[in-house]
Amino acid sequence: MGQMISISGRDGDFAGYLAAPASGRGPGNSPGVVVIQEIFGINAVVRAAADWLAGLGYFALAPDLFWRLQPGVELTDRTDAEWKQALDLMNRFDVDAGIEDIQATIDHLRVTAGVSGKIGAVGYCLGGQLAYLTAARTDADACVGYYGVNLPARLGEAGNIKKPLMLHIAAEDGFVPKAAQAQIIAGLQGNRLVTIHVYDGVDHAFARPGGKNFNQAAATLANRRTEDFFKQNLGMP
C-alpha cells in the first residue's frame, strides 16, 4: 500500500499517490514511474496500477492532475453520474498544464530517496494521450500509453520524441476509430523509438480491471510488454 504525498509544481502544490517497493537493491537503485490517470481521478484502479509497479520494484507516483478543477476526485466507471462528471472534468482539463504537472512529478521522483534517477511514465485513456505528450515534451526516459485518446491531433509533436515510447491500441476502441488508429500508426512509423501494439477484438480500457471492457488475455499481454519495456529502458529494479 502506498501513501498520499505533496508534489510542488509551478502553479502550486498538488497531491500524488506514491507506492514504494518493499525492498530494493540499495539506495539509489530503483527506477521511478509516473502513473498517469484516466478521467476518473486517482481512484482505486490508478492506485492499483501504482501498487503493481511497486511490486515489480519501482517507485510509482500517480499525480492528481485534476487538482486545479477538483482536488481529490475519485470516480468509477460504474454509474452514469460518475461518467458525466468524469467527462466534464476531461473537457475542462488543461492538457498543457497537466504536462507541466507531470514534469514536476518526474522531478520529484528523481530526487526521492532510493530512486536511481531513471524515470518512466505510463498512462491510460486520457493518460495515454498524456504519456505520448510526456515522451514529446518532458525528460522522461521511457513512456507507455494505453489506448490514448486524441492522438491524431498530437502527431505534429512526433518529431520531438527522443526517448522510447510504447503504445497499446485497442482495435475496436469506441473512442479511437480505426481511421484514427491508422493515422497514429502512419504518423509514428518512421520513428524507430516508437513501438506500437494493436490488440484485436478488444475495446477501449481493455486493461482496466473490473471495467466492462476488461479483457484478461489482452491486459496480461500488454502488461507483460510494459514490464519488459521498462526493464529494458529504465534498468532492472
Cell of 143: 513512456
Cα–Cα distance, 117 to 104 (Å, whole number): 14
**Annotated catalytic residue within 173, 197, 200, 228:** 173
Q: Looking at this protein, which amino acid is placed at residue 15?
A: A
Residue 228 among the catalytic residues: no
Residue 173 among the catalytic residues: yes
Cα–Cα distance, 84 to 110 (Å, whole number): 36
Residue 202: phi and psi, rounded to 5, are -120, 155
Q: Residue 133: CB partners within 8 Å, gap ≥ 6?
A: 95, 99, 154, 157
Cell of 235: 534498468
The DSSP output letter for 31 is E
Beta carbons of 118 and 32 less than 8 angstroms apart: yes
**Annotated catalytic residue within 101, 141, 203, 204:** 204
For residue 13, the surrounding DSSP H or E stretch is strand 12-19
Residue 213: phi and psi, rounded to 5, are -100, 10
Instruction: Name the residues annotated as catalytic.
Output: 173, 204
